[in-house]
Chains A and B, each alone.
Chain A
């Protein structure tokens, strides 16, 4: 499951965290390569926050080994901490301070020089689009603005490695899009980001995704591989005239690269999802094969990528089959 990379900024080896008798994270091993957006996805209570807190040194693992930026988190020196940014899940700044004062406070925590700080804070306020609210008390700004303020605070010292714990939770879709835009921009600047999310559709924006369930790591994949693994390959969605569906099915049966096909749930007659190993190579052959039959009126054929919500449900259901006792405890936000 763990991909060995030479430029990993985070390495976890069989890490377990227990609180009393409760095991919050069980035997997790993963690596986060430098310069990537690494997503941690899973239902509430699956251990995402605990994992991120272990990575930042807030929690100490009960078992296993961890290295972040080459150091053990529980023994982080100040110099290592200065390279890490952290955006907690909840708003932990001061409601009685203004947006600017909160930013200034966090900048001081990271020892930012006063002369450099002013320019940096202005730049960040522009980055998170909070310039107009700089003198507003943090307690008086909207929830979305609070999250943006926290993002700015976590970036105030220009960290190499940013941990963002559910940055888009409770945020409207437009703002969520902006957050991911910011993250992509940061990635482009060379930052490494570890982002947890309950919104599985957001894994699309990640370079790699770790799927967690009940404290266990189910898989670490790229979004495409995740989809492929869930579906067992790729999908070509074919639309023919409703009267031609039977003929099309007959022809598809004869194609050796077609693993299976079926009409999607709720789709009209004439629509078929064809499961293949590689949609890129299979699509021309499907179009060519069906096109040779003049009785089939083929209207549309293209690679279909089902939303990650569906992928996630498939993965969770599959995991529940191997561990049925834990299904009831899960809350899946799709």
Chain B
């Protein structure tokens, strides 16, 4: 047989035999991730915990029934009111001394009754004592949602009031039109006292309607109605002056103006009465619709990421210890004398590890996707992770991630002078993988330079490729293959170069 091939197979067989001698390692590599995913799936609810909140109310509002309504609204926004007090200082102290049991102190404003009468916004103060930036963002977001919710509720109440006012507005429009007809028919009579009496009635009625609207709400429609009514009042004043002086043309022009403004008020009144208050408060709403082939649960979503993370870690660890062990064991002395080259050693090791990892992956993926009923117990064996993609492309992705990760491991091994150094570098790689691979934190959240670091890790592309093939049922992107191929090639060449230098006769 071809001698170089036999030499290459020497390392292949040696690596496989050495790993085969460690059944506990193999078992932990397969069962470890499986059990972690299983416990994760059983134990993770996926819901954000409710914020434990102490509500601080103004002393004079302590027994106000509206506080209860307010509290219900707050609790709809993921806040759990665990206490109500009037003493802000006491509430803050309680939060500080609670060791995380109290998340938030929410202080309601004293001027609840004057919300629309004032010319500025009122503030609900949300106090928290948090060092976790994610939790802090969560509190800020929920506070924003809560205030939006409260504002909507207040607007809804106000608009409901507007609708009552709008009923009066329509009566006002109807009576005003009649009065205007009468005024128009009496225009021929100079300084007609009935005309002026009608103008005063209209002036009084419009004032009353305007005051009612001002008290009702500050919705857009309401404001437009008020504006139009004010215009009508100005026209009525001008009409009164024209009637007093007997200028008929001027009276006609003013009556025309009033008619036009009445038409506008009529439109607004129609809108206020016909459009539901909910639509007026929130004209836009959203209906989310997921077009993905699957809507995986948490286990299924994280399974490809766990697989990629484990694959990289396994390959990096195996390879990183490999060359450094040869150095420490002294086998390199044997290799320097024997008719074997650095390339043969490296490629033989690649093949040995690829076979080992492939077998582990088959077992692991099998356990993940298995969904076998256990008798009539109602339970199933396996994690039932869906697999909707092409198995061949998945295998290609696994192979590429494996080769790239082995390259990274061999590079670590080639530059390490001790086992502890190799282990340390492997752990740093794992840490980088957890933070930057997009497994937990989305890549989009990182600055560009950090994303480049992420792209240098095989696991980053592995997570995406495995999710694509397993959950989305589509091929991994060309970019994924280019990145993985490049990492594999560059790491291999660098590792080979350094290893060859180490192995060189001195």
CA distance A90 to B328 in the complex (A): 12
CA distance A97 to B330 in the complex (A): 15
By the criterion CB–CB under 8 Å, are A94 and B329 in contact?
yes
Whether A308 is near chain B, meaning CB under 8 Å from some CB there, is no
Whether A257 is near chain B, meaning CB under 8 Å from some CB there, is no
By the criterion CB–CB under 8 Å, are B334 and A106 in contact?
yes
- Contact A86 B337, CB 8 Å, known A57-B505, A94-B18, A97-B18: yes
By the criterion CB–CB under 8 Å, are B18 and A60 in contact?
no
From residue 1 to 51 of chain B, which have CB atoms closer than 8 A to chain A?
1, 3-4, 6-7, 9-10, 13-14, 17-18, 21-22
Whether A109 is near chain B, meaning CB under 8 Å from some CB there, is yes
> CB-nearest residue of chain B relative to A57?
B505
Q: Which residues of A contact B427 (CB under 8 A)?
A: none
Whether B339 is near chain A, meaning CB under 8 Å from some CB there, is yes
Q: Most chain-B Cβ atoms within 10 A of its Cβ — which of A73, A86, A108, A137? A: A108
Whether B506 is near chain A, meaning CB under 8 Å from some CB there, is yes
By the criterion CB–CB under 8 Å, are A109 and B1 in contact?
no
Pick the interface stretch among A110-118, A172-180, A296-304, A312-320.
A110-118
By the criterion CB–CB under 8 Å, are A105 and B13 in contact?
yes
Whether A58 is near chain B, meaning CB under 8 Å from some CB there, is yes
By the criterion CB–CB under 8 Å, are A108 and B506 in contact?
no
CA distance A56 to B13 in the complex (A): 26
Q: Which residues of B contact A84 (CB under 8 A)?
A: 337
Category for how many chain B residues contact A:
20 to 34
Q: Within the complex, which residue of A56, A101, A113 is in contact with B17, where a contact is CB–CB below 8 Å?
A: A101
By the criterion CB–CB under 8 Å, are B10 and A92 in contact?
no
By the criterion CB–CB under 8 Å, are A58 and B9 in contact?
no
CA distance A94 to B1 in the complex (A): 25
Q: Which residues of B contact A58 (CB under 8 A)?
A: 333, 336-337, 505-506
Whether A88 is near chain B, meaning CB under 8 Å from some CB there, is yes
By the criterion CB–CB under 8 Å, are B18 and A96 in contact?
yes
Q: Within the complex, which residue of A73, A81, A94 is in contact with B339, where a contact is CB–CB below 8 Å?
A: A81
CA distance A91 to B457 in the complex (A): 38
By the criterion CB–CB under 8 Å, are B13 and A113 in contact?
no
> CB-nearest residue of chain A relative to B331?
A92
Whether A309 is near chain B, meaning CB under 8 Å from some CB there, is no
Q: Which residues of A contact B1 (CB under 8 A)?
A: 113-114
By the criterion CB–CB under 8 Å, are A92 and B336 in contact?
no
Q: Which residues of A contact B337 (CB under 8 A)?
A: 56-58, 81, 84, 86
The 0/1 profile, CB within 8 Å of A marked 1, for residues 479-506 of chain B is: 0000000000000000000000000011
CA distance A113 to B3 in the complex (A): 8
Q: Which residues of B contact A74 (CB under 8 A)?
A: 505
Q: Which residues of A contact B275 (CB under 8 A)?
A: none
> CB-nearest residue of chain A relative to B10?
A108
Q: Which residues of A contact B17 (CB under 8 A)?
A: 96-97, 101
By the criterion CB–CB under 8 Å, are B329 and A111 in contact?
no
CA distance A261 to B98 in the complex (A): 102
Q: Most chain-A Cβ atoms within 10 A of its Cβ — which of B7, B331, B333, B335? A: B333
Whether B340 is near chain A, meaning CB under 8 Å from some CB there, is yes
The 0/1 profile, CB within 8 Å of B marked 1, for residues 93-127 of chain A is: 11011000100111011111110000000000000
> How many Å from the CB of B338 to the closest CB on chain A?
5
CA distance A116 to B191 in the complex (A): 135
Q: Within the complex, which residue of A90, A108, A113 is in contact with B9, where a contact is CB–CB below 8 Å?
A: A108
The 0/1 profile, CB within 8 Å of A marked 1, for residues 71-97 of chain B is: 000000000000000000000000000
Q: Which residues of A contact B505 (CB under 8 A)?
A: 57-60, 73-74
By the criterion CB–CB under 8 Å, are B7 and A93 in contact?
no
Q: Which residues of B contact A265 (CB under 8 A)?
A: none
Q: Within the complex, which residue of A56, A59, A79, A111 is in contact with B6, where a contact is CB–CB below 8 Å?
A: A111
- Contact A96 B338, CB 8 Å, known A59-B505, A108-B13, A109-B7: no
The 0/1 profile, CB within 8 Å of A marked 1, for residues 328-356 of chain B is: 01110111111110000000000000000
CA distance A58 to B335 in the complex (A): 9
> CB-nearest residue of chain B relative to A97?
B17
By the criterion CB–CB under 8 Å, are A88 and B333 in contact?
yes
Q: Which residues of B contact A113 (CB under 8 A)?
A: 1, 6
> How many Å from the CB of B22 to the closest CB on chain A?
8
Whether A254 is near chain B, meaning CB under 8 Å from some CB there, is no
Q: Which residues of B contact A91 (CB under 8 A)?
A: 330
By the criterion CB–CB under 8 Å, are B330 and A92 in contact?
yes
Q: Which residues of B contact A137 (CB under 8 A)?
A: 21
Q: Which residues of A contact B22 (CB under 8 A)?
A: 96
> CB-nearest residue of chain B relative to A101?
B17
CA distance A282 to B330 in the complex (A): 54
By the criterion CB–CB under 8 Å, are B21 and A110 in contact?
no
By the criterion CB–CB under 8 Å, are B331 and A93 in contact?
yes
Q: Which residues of B contact A108 (CB under 8 A)?
A: 6-7, 9-10, 13
Q: Which residues of B contact A86 (CB under 8 A)?
A: 334, 337-338
> How many Å from the CB of A95 to the closest CB on chain B?
8
> CB-nearest residue of chain A relative to B8?
A108
> How many Å from the CB of A250 to the closest CB on chain B?
62
Q: Within the complex, which residue of B9, B14, B18, B338 is in contact with A110, where a contact is CB–CB below 8 Å?
A: B338
Q: Which residues of A contact B340 (CB under 8 A)?
A: 109
Q: Which residues of A contact B6 (CB under 8 A)?
A: 108, 111-114
> How many Å from the CB of A84 to the closest CB on chain B?
7
> How many Å from the CB of A181 to the closest CB on chain B?
25
By the criterion CB–CB under 8 Å, are B7 and A111 in contact?
yes
By the criterion CB–CB under 8 Å, are A57 and B18 in contact?
no
> CB-nearest residue of chain A relative to B21?
A96
CA distance A111 to B7 in the complex (A): 6
By the criterion CB–CB under 8 Å, are A59 and B21 in contact?
no
Can you list 7 residue pairs at the A/B interface with Cβ under 8 Å?
A: A56-B336, A58-B333, A58-B336, A58-B337, A81-B339, A105-B14, A108-B10
B contact residues vs A (CB 8 Å cutoff): 1, 3-4, 6-7, 9-10, 13-14, 17-18, 21-22, 329-331, 333-340, 505-506
19 extra interface residue pairs, beta carbon distance < 8 Å, beyond A91-B330, A109-B335, A110-B339: A58-B337, A58-B506, A59-B505, A73-B505, A81-B337, A88-B333, A92-B331, A92-B333, A92-B334, A96-B17, A96-B21, A96-B22, A97-B17, A106-B338, A108-B9, A108-B10, A108-B13, A111-B339, A114-B6
**Those 9 A-B pairs whose CB atoms lie nearest each other, nearest first:** A108-B10, A111-B3, A78-B339, A81-B339, A92-B330, A86-B337, A109-B338, A56-B337, A58-B336
